[in-house]
Amino acid sequence: MTRLNDHTAVAVVGPTCSGKTRIGVGLAKLIDGEIISADARQVFKLIDIGTAKPTREEMSGVPHHLVDFLSPEDEMSAGAYAELAGKIAGEIFFRKHVPIIVGGSGLYLRALIDGLFEAPEIDKDVRVKLRERLHEEGAEVLLNELKRIDPEAARDLIPQNYKRILRGLEVYYSSGKRISVLRRDRPTTVDFDTIQFGIQVERKLLYRRIEKRVDDMIEKGLVDEAKEILRRGFKPNLNSLQTVGYKEVIGFLQGKLRFEDMVSLIKMNTRRYAKRQMTWFNKDKRIVWIKADDKRVEEVAEEIHRRFIGL
């Protein structure tokens, strides 16, 4: 795998408790990167312990963006996230650094990387044929073809943007519709390629990590944190508080759950959330999976680094 150009970002994705945060920081130190969070809950202030929001120590001097900047009563859509994250990515590229998108919120990642629109089903034969042509004829020939078919989608593309060239052609040849028309109302915000790396952890190990994380969160004061959020006048039915960890703690504070049941429910719902995340990410065949298991964070970061730069 080779880094294509100076406008290629890297995404580190995977389920909760897979180690994405620390791996992202380790990678950033290797490639002069800045991290853009793709976590739908870490954007909110005050909601810290239950979202495993990175501390200053864990950030380790690496710039982090889109963390801890909204009030719990604010709303954040995938489209709004993509617009903000895309702008920040452009600024990072301008500084000659590498955007590292880290998180497990699949819809946010899709909105940023692909844009949000109702994608048609892609004909498998069309996809295979286009990739054969890419290998045989080259990206420039396909780019010229896209310019004839969909000038708007091809505008500002260069041959190195072969993924977007292929996407535009496969959408058109599969559906007869131009991709520019499909995404006009929800355009991607920045023209860059993204290589996605998924952090793969054996299920039993992942579940053990989840158990430990929940126990650590309780010990660090998750109940008191939720109590303080409510004391400040934030309503318990806010969307930001419908988060695994907080909704169960609020149920406990309201007398609906016993303490032991609250802890068990947080663990169960976190496992279910991790399973949903993996189901989502497994559908994206572009993701390069890295087996982490008991590897050191530095080892995983170095492996991603090698693959990213093509060593």
Q: Provide the residue ranges of all domains of the chain, joining segments of one domain with +.
A: 8-117+191-202+278-309, 124-182, 204-277
Domain 204-277 has CATH 3.30.930.10: no
Look at the domain 8-117+191-202+278-309 and name its fold: Rossmann fold (3.40.50)
Query: Please, what is the average pLDDT of the chain?
Result: 91
Average pLDDT over residues 125-129: 93
Residues 6+ apart with CB under 8 A from 235: 73, 241
Whole-number Å distance between alpha carbons of 202 and 294: 9
CATH of span 124-182: 1.10.20.140
pLDDT higher than 60, residue 185: no
pLDDT higher than 60, residue 14: yes
Q: What confidence score (pLDDT) does residue 118 get? A: 62
Q: If pLDDT is split at 50, 70 and 90, which confidence band does 116 have?
A: low
Average pLDDT over residues 180-209: 82
Residues forming a β-bridge with 34: 99
The least confident of 22-26, 152-156, 211-215 is 152-156
Q: What is the pTM of this model?
A: 0.76
Q: What confidence score (pLDDT) does residue 117 get? A: 64
What is the percentage of the chain residues whose pLDDT exceeds 90?
77
Q: What confidence score (pLDDT) does residue 183 get? A: 67
